[in-house]
Chain A
Amino acid sequence: MGQVFETIAHEFRESLAMALIALRINKLRSILTLLGIAVGVFSIIAVMTAMGVLLNSIESGLSQLGANTFQIQRTSNFNTGNPQERAKMRNRKNIKYAQGLLVKERATLAKAVGLEAWSGGKIVATLTGQKSNPDVAIVGEDIEGFATNNWDIGDGRLFTQSELNSGRKVAILGIQVVKKIFTKLDPIGQTIRIDGQEYEVIGTIEPKGGMLGGNQDNFVAIPLTTLFDVYGSNRDIHIMVQASSRETFDDCVEQVRGILRSARQVSPGVDDDFYLFSNDSMIEQFNDFTKYVRLGIMVISAIALIAAGVGIMNIMLVSVTERTREIGIRKAIGAKKNNILSQFILEAVVISELGGMIGIIIGILVGNILAITLSVPAIIPWDWVAIGFLVCSLIGVVFGVYPAWKASNLDPIEALRYE
């Protein structure tokens, strides 16, 4: 057993050496072949790495919603390509505050229902003249919204129910805003000004980091009713619903959907006129969205790999011809057909794997450029790396078998006589 393993190990070493020699002798042809394999593997690995990075980024963003939480908003964050669809989206009616309250009241399967409304592109200023860039979001939030957003209060406190009801002008700052305008002062108790309105700062929110490159900490939260007072009460809102458990999640989704459909008078059989998403649905949608990209890249890779496989076969055929005498010598001193067969197949596999290795390394590097741009951790898609190596071995075997078979069937005397 050990001896068999040792023979195989030796054959592998020898094949590796022989493959490298064959590569050196047929430089240009080899480089082209390696390049073919490398390109085929590279495109798969690069795309899959990038997809992995994106998915990671989305997942980490979503997990910042509370556990078992889904969100309802007017339209999807993703642009679907179809212009008709997009027009339909634009014509959708706002989700009204009253509809949010209805969900709060009737969704018996929900543990918490948070309501919020957003307005972006604000400048936040202190009374001493410190100013932020005009990129801060102001969000009107109710109390449960902090739970469903998974926001934790850092310093200070949350506003109270009575402050919410009376529409007091109090503000809780995202950490990015604090860093920008309160470099020296303790923000709690200070006054800030947004769109000409003054708010008392009562708290800050623990940092959350970015999702898809955006920054989740660059906002100011105020009571929802205050936001309605200042910016108008007809605004579109988001409804965030936290199911009481993993098990009741799906039922809870259906219940809330039913409540909203009847409130918004959607006839049976007609699609929802709102967009409901959870972690799962978001990932599903992402996978759906990228299905054709992945399919396309597989086709391209397959073509590149098959072309490269034919290149390997060509190299191996030339190699067999050039080494006819060597094959004769090996047979004369006792090599069996199988020895020659496995030697040449292994050589083809080694060439293929070399190309694959180049493709995998460059693919991972290029795919992770996206991770750097989105400032999320780089990943190595081990499953696709394994698949890459496997496919390369397969190509080596499939396209190496014929030349190897030809070599193993040479007649020893004729091979020895070959000039």
Chain B
Amino acid sequence: MSISNHVVINLQQIKKIYDMGGAEEVQALRGVSLQIQKNEYVAIMGPSGSGKSTLMNIIGCLDTPSSGLYEFNGVNVSEMNDNQLAKIRNKEIGFVFQTFNLLARSDSLHNVELPLIYAGVTSADRKRLAREALEHVGLGDRGHHKPNELSGGQRQRVAVARALVNRPSILLADEPTGNLDSKTGDEIMVLFEELHSQGNTIILVTHEEYIAEHAHRIIRIRDGMIEIDEIVKNRKKINTA
């Protein structure tokens, strides 16, 4: 498997400052520069409060940096308007959250369908694609279950299916196993492994070393700055059998 030279994410001197009123301010990111290429599998690590989520939200176009340059597939995101950002979030980015963030009153199929609705896909195609995505994460038979009728691991699979259904350029996961026990957490990691081997680009936030070791590259953050950016030598392979 060869990694192409195509740069998906290019961050230059990204800063995020929260103005807390008065003279007080929080510098969540203090100048982060990094590049991520197509089909990389990157783990972002760091202590709590170090700015991991802030960075992920900026990469995921959910949040905007206070300063710095962000290019997504060569396009300057800082200059985009709300609708263009919504389109990027919809088509180019699949986001998996620690707390799943599924619509509680809708079943799995409808949750997975939602990005397709906003993409303007027709009903028949939507149904088919959503079903395929659910099958892909091993939940083909759970289409009509609502989130509260699923286990935590299953909910996260639905969320992954939703993130993938529009075939995004990149999959972002902010502590996807944080709310799961280690066994179901491992199952999700197996899923990510598979997705990566199928050519997906993945960025994963975690503070568990053993989870990070699945990645090809680990970026360690402290106090809003990149401390270490390293290639993993001895990647841990999960026994997928």
Binding site for B on A (CB under 8 A): 2-4, 6-7, 10, 21, 325-326, 328-339, 412-413, 416
- B57, B87, B114, B119: which contacts A330 (Cβ < 8 A)? B114
Residues from chain B with Cβ under 8 Å of A334 in the complex: 86-87, 89-91, 115, 118-119, 166
Report whether over half of chain B's contact residues are helix, strand or loop; otherwise say mixed.
helix
A331 — nearest CB in chain B belongs to which residue? B86
Contact residue range for chain B? Answer: 20 to 34
The reply to whether B83 and A412 form a contact with Cβ atoms under 8 Å apart is no
B162 — nearest CB in chain A belongs to which residue? A333
The reply to whether A339 and B82 form a contact with Cβ atoms under 8 Å apart is no
Known: A331-B62, A332-B60, A333-B115. 4 other contacts (CB 8 A): A332-B89, A334-B86, A413-B62, A413-B63
- B62, B102, B122, B123: which contacts A412 (Cβ < 8 A)? B62
The reply to whether B123 and A333 form a contact with Cβ atoms under 8 Å apart is no
The reply to whether A339 and B103 form a contact with Cβ atoms under 8 Å apart is no
A326 to B60, CA, bound (A): 18
Report whether over half of chain A's contact residues are helix, strand or loop; otherwise say mixed.
helix
Interface string of B90-101 (1 = CB under 8 A from A): 110001010001
A2 to B121, CA, bound (A): 11
A335 — nearest CB in chain B belongs to which residue? B118
The reply to whether B89 and A7 form a contact with Cβ atoms under 8 Å apart is no
A330 to B116, CA, bound (A): 12
Residues from chain A with Cβ under 8 Å of B62 in the complex: 331-332, 412-413, 416
A73 to B86, CA, bound (A): 77
Judged by a CB distance under 8 angstroms, whether B120 is at the interface is yes
A7 to B87, CA, bound (A): 16
Judged by a CB distance under 8 angstroms, whether B150 is at the interface is no
| Nearest CB in chain B: distance from A75 CB, A | 68
Residues from chain A with Cβ under 8 Å of B34 in the complex: none
Binding site for A on B (CB under 8 A): 57, 60, 62-63, 82-83, 86-87, 89-91, 95, 97, 101-103, 105, 114-115, 117-120, 122-123, 162, 166
A6 to B127, CA, bound (A): 14
Contacts A330-B114, A332-B95; A3 near B120 (Cβ below 8 A): yes
Residues from chain B with Cβ under 8 Å of A7 in the complex: 117, 120
A10 to B124, CA, bound (A): 12
- B101, B123, B166: which contacts A332 (Cβ < 8 A)? B101
Contacts A10-B117, A413-B57; A333 near B83 (Cβ below 8 A): no
* A/B interface sample: 6 pairs, CB < 8 A: A325-B101, A328-B101, A332-B60, A333-B95, A333-B162, A334-B91
Residues from chain B with Cβ under 8 Å of A329 in the complex: 101-103
Kindly list the 7 A-B residue pairs having the minimum CB-CB distance in the complex, ordered from nearest.
A334-B90, A334-B118, A336-B86, A333-B115, A334-B89, A329-B101, A413-B63
| Nearest CB in chain B: distance from A82 CB, A | 63
B166 — nearest CB in chain A belongs to which residue? A334
A382 to B90, CA, bound (A): 44
Contacts A7-B117, A335-B86; A21 near B95 (Cβ below 8 A): no
| Nearest CB in chain A: distance from B48 CB, A | 16
A416 to B60, CA, bound (A): 13
The reply to whether B118 and A6 form a contact with Cβ atoms under 8 Å apart is no
Residues from chain A with Cβ under 8 Å of B83 in the complex: 336-338
A4 to B166, CA, bound (A): 19
The reply to whether A333 and B90 form a contact with Cβ atoms under 8 Å apart is yes
Residues from chain B with Cβ under 8 Å of A333 in the complex: 89-90, 95, 114-115, 118, 162
The reply to whether B122 and A3 form a contact with Cβ atoms under 8 Å apart is yes
Residues from chain B with Cβ under 8 Å of A6 in the complex: 122-123
B119 — nearest CB in chain A belongs to which residue? A334
A7 to B118, CA, bound (A): 9
| Nearest CB in chain A: distance from B114 CB, A | 6
Residues from chain A with Cβ under 8 Å of B63 in the complex: 412-413
A339 to B114, CA, bound (A): 12
A3 to B87, CA, bound (A): 17
A336 to B162, CA, bound (A): 17
- B60, B82, B101: which contacts A337 (Cβ < 8 A)? B82
A331 to B91, CA, bound (A): 12
A219 to B103, CA, bound (A): 75
The reply to whether A416 and B117 form a contact with Cβ atoms under 8 Å apart is no
A338 to B101, CA, bound (A): 21
| Nearest CB in chain B: distance from A339 CB, A | 6
- A2, A339, A416: which contacts B101 (Cβ < 8 A)? A416
- B97, B102, B105: which contacts A21 (Cβ < 8 A)? B105
Residues from chain B with Cβ under 8 Å of A325 in the complex: 101
Residues from chain B with Cβ under 8 Å of A339 in the complex: 118
A2 to B120, CA, bound (A): 11
Residues from chain A with Cβ under 8 Å of B119 in the complex: 334
Residues from chain A with Cβ under 8 Å of B90 in the complex: 333-335
A335 to B83, CA, bound (A): 9
Interface centre among A4, A7, A325, A332 (most CB of B within 10 A): A332
| Nearest CB in chain B: distance from A90 CB, A | 72
A258 to B4, CA, bound (A): 104
